[in-house]
């Protein structure tokens, strides 16, 4: 009850509007889907190519054309990147501002050494003889981190308007951060870092910018730190017009938050989660910077994915507003922060038609928004052009009598509509897209079908799952909550 009361208090100073008027459309319909894409970037080299990083270690390039059908493997790290784990793998990608001259790209990835888990920020070089591949043996490790677990290492890399490389690092994944790593200035975990990769110092492949906020703070402060007090700042970006830095910091039990990042600021984790004291854990709150927006864990909203301040032309009414989403629910919002005393948050897309899981956002050359779908691997353009609907099906062909299962309700009926005869399959999948069980995979004639969905105690932990229906009309999903 306290959770909802506190959120109601926040809403007296800010407002959230349900206004889901926009759709999304596949940006490159002839391009085969990616496998668990986590990052998309375009270098400033005049080639009009996008690059997409897949979690399990591959980076692909493809031409930015509506009719493109070919993608090329640019870098393959599948021999070293873990092939299991929800938060492991190749998680970050960016290009040097002078990529056309030096061919440098930077990535964040994870790797096991026996039982020791490490996070690497590395620089690679494109092959000058073949710009579609990375030069063999060109890796230079910029930074190596050894987190306490294999979770919460964030992963975004981006060059700021000042030419420095910024990197988001999570708190290392220990439940509730009991060691207060995010608050510890002698640790790089739970921080946003700022590095000068054009300058080498001693054994490092980077230097410390002379105006970093803790450059003169003594030996107990890591000089790389730009801001601290984050749990898992998964995605951040710079506003092209104002140079402001926006981040979505993934919450623990109750709240997700959006932060406007200032040098040297402390964003509170684990003293605070969002704007609220976290389980009465000790810590001084007087010098903490509160998020500009938070939202509670309800209606399947559970994991914020930071986006971009909109500077395109397709949506004039949204110019200057911060567009972001939720990985689990697939919803997207626009945050109007033009008047900090009256913040307005508008829902733009409800995440249901089609069903997506937003792993990342990107920008095309016209500053229009692209959306990466982790679940099925497609790239979407937001918004869909006027008159274009997201799918040819007017309603979800999966209906449930009950959208949850628990100790009292161990079964529910699923009602499936197949509008066109052909091969169809129905499976239960987890949020990472892994199949828990398959109910059928066979030829079906057009019609309505009923199936009993049971709870799988031996295969399902508590959480959100999805019924995934594949038909000749497309792929459709319906959320179902498993509890015990």
Cis ω on the peptide bond leading into residue 270 (within 30° of 0)? yes
* 393 is a domain residue: no
Same domain, 372 and 432: no
Task: Report how far residue 433's alpha carbon sits from residue 271's, in angstroms, rounded to the nearest whole number.
Answer: 33
* 346 is a domain residue: yes
* 387 is a domain residue: no
User: Do residues 354 and 24 make contact, with C-beta atoms less than 8 angstroms apart?
Assistant: yes
Half-sphere exposure at residue 6, Cβ-oriented, CA atoms within 13 angstroms: 15
Same domain, 300 and 434: no
The last residue of a domain, from among 382, 415, 435 = 382
Same domain, 71 and 185: yes
* 99 is a domain residue: yes
Q: CA triplet 335, 337, 343: central angle to 5 degrees? A: 80
Q: DSSP characters for 403-461?
A: SEE-SS--EEEEEEEE-S-EEEEEEEE-TTS-EEEEEEEEEE-SEEEEEEEE--TTT--
Number of structural domains the chain divides into: 2
* pLDDT, one tens digit for every residue, the chain (484 residues): 222 222 222 322 355 555 556 889 999 999 999 999 999 999 999 999 999 999 999 999 999 999 999 999 999 999 999 877 778 899 999 999 999 999 999 999 999 887 888 999 999 999 999 999 999 999 999 999 998 887 888 889 999 999 999 999 999 888 888 899 999 999 999 999 999 999 987 778 899 999 999 999 988 999 999 999 999 999 999 999 999 999 999 999 999 999 999 999 999 999 999 999 998 877 889 999 999 999 999 888 999 999 999 999 999 989 999 999 999 999 999 999 998 888 889 889 988 878 899 999 999 999 999 999 998 999 999 987 543 333 333 467 888 878 888 777 788 878 888 878 888 888 888 876 778 888 888 888 777 777 778 776 556 677 788 888 887 766 778 888 887 6
Same domain, 80 and 228: yes
Q: What is the CATH number of the domain that holds 417?
A: 2.60.40.10
Distances (CA, A) of 261 to 25, 136, 236, 268: 31, 37, 10, 12
Same domain, 162 and 240: yes
* 50 is a domain residue: yes
Same domain, 31 and 175: yes
Same domain, 365 and 329: yes
The last residue of a domain, from among 332, 350, 382 = 382
Token look-up 């926006």 returns 246
Same domain, 206 and 252: yes
Residue-range definition of the domain harbouring residue 232 = 2-382
Same domain, 176 and 73: yes
Task: Report how far residue 157's alpha carbon sits from residue 235's, in angstroms, rounded to the nearest whole number.
Answer: 9
Same domain, 291 and 437: no
Same domain, 372 and 408: no
Q: What is the CATH number of the domain that holds 108?
A: 2.120.10.30
* 62 is a domain residue: yes
Same domain, 311 and 446: no
* 168 is a domain residue: yes
Residue 16: what pLDDT? 55
The last residue of a domain, from among 350, 382, 414 = 382
* 390 is a domain residue: no
Task: Report how far residue 381's alpha carbon sits from residue 70's, in angstroms, rounded to the nearest whole number.
Answer: 19
Q: Which residues of 105-128 are buried (b: 16+ CB within 10 A; e: fewer)?
A: bbbbbbbeeeeebbbbbbbbbbee
């Amino acid at each position: 009850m306290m959770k909802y009361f506190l959120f109601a208090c926040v809403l007296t100073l800010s407002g959230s509007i349900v206004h889901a008027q926009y759709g999304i459309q596949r940006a490159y319909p002839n391009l085969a889907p990616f496998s668990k894409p986590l990052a998309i970037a375009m270098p400033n080299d005049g080639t009009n190519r996008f690059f997409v990083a897949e979690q399990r270690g591959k980076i692909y390039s493809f031409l930015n054309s509506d009719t493109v059908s070919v993608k090329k493997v640019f870098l393959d790290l599948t021999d070293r990147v873990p092939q299991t784990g929800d938060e492991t793998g190749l998680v970050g990608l960016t290009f040097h501002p002078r990529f056309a001259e030096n061919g440098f790209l930077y990535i964040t990835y994870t790797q096991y050494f026996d039982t020791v888990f490490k996070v690497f920020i590395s620089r690679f070089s494109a092959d000058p003889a073949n710009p579609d591949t990375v030069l063999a043996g060109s890796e230079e490790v910029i930074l190596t981190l050894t987190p306490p677990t294999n979770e919460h290492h964030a992963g975004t890399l981006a060059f700021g308007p000042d030419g420095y490389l910024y990197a988001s690092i999570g708190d290392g994944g220990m439940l509730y951060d009991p060691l207060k790593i995010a608050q510890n200035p002698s640790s790089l975990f739970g921080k946003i870092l700022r590095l000068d990769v054009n300058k080498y110092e001693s054994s490092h492949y980077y230097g410390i910018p002379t105006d970093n906020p803790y450059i003169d703070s003594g030996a107990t402060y890591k000089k790389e730190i730009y801001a601290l007090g984050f749990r898992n700042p998964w995605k951040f970006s710079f506003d092209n017009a104002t140079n402001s830095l926006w981040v979505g910091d993934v919450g623990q039990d109750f709240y997700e938050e959006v932060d406007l990042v200032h040098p040297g600021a402390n964003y509170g984790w684990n003293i605070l989660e969002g704007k609220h004291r976290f389980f009465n854990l000790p810590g001084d709150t007087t010098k903490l910077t509160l998020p500009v927006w938070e939202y509670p864990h309800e209606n399947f909203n559970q994991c914020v994915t930071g986006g971009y301040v909109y500077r395109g032309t397709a949506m004039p009414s949204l110019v200057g507003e911060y567009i972001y989403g939720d990985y689990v629910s697939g919803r997207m919002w626009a945050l109007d922060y033009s008047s900090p005393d009256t913040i307005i948050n508008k829902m733009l897309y409800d995440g249901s038609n089609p069903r997506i899981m937003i792993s990342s956002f990107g920008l095309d050359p016209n500053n229009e928004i692209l959306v990466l779908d982790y679940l099925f691997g497609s790239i979407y353009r937001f918004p869909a052009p006027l008159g274009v609907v997201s799918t040819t099906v007017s309603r979800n062909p999966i209906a449930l009598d009950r959208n949850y299962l628990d100790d009292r309700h161990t079964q529910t009926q699923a009602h499936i509509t197949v509008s066109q005869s052909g091969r169809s399959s129905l499976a239960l999948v987890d949020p990472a897209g892994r199949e828990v069980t398959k109910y059928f995979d066979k030829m079906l004639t057009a019609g309505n079908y009923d199936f009993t969905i049971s709870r799988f105690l031996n295969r399902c932990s508590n959480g959100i799952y999805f019924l995934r229906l594949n038909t000749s009309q497309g792929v459709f999903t319906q959320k179902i909550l498993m509890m015990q």
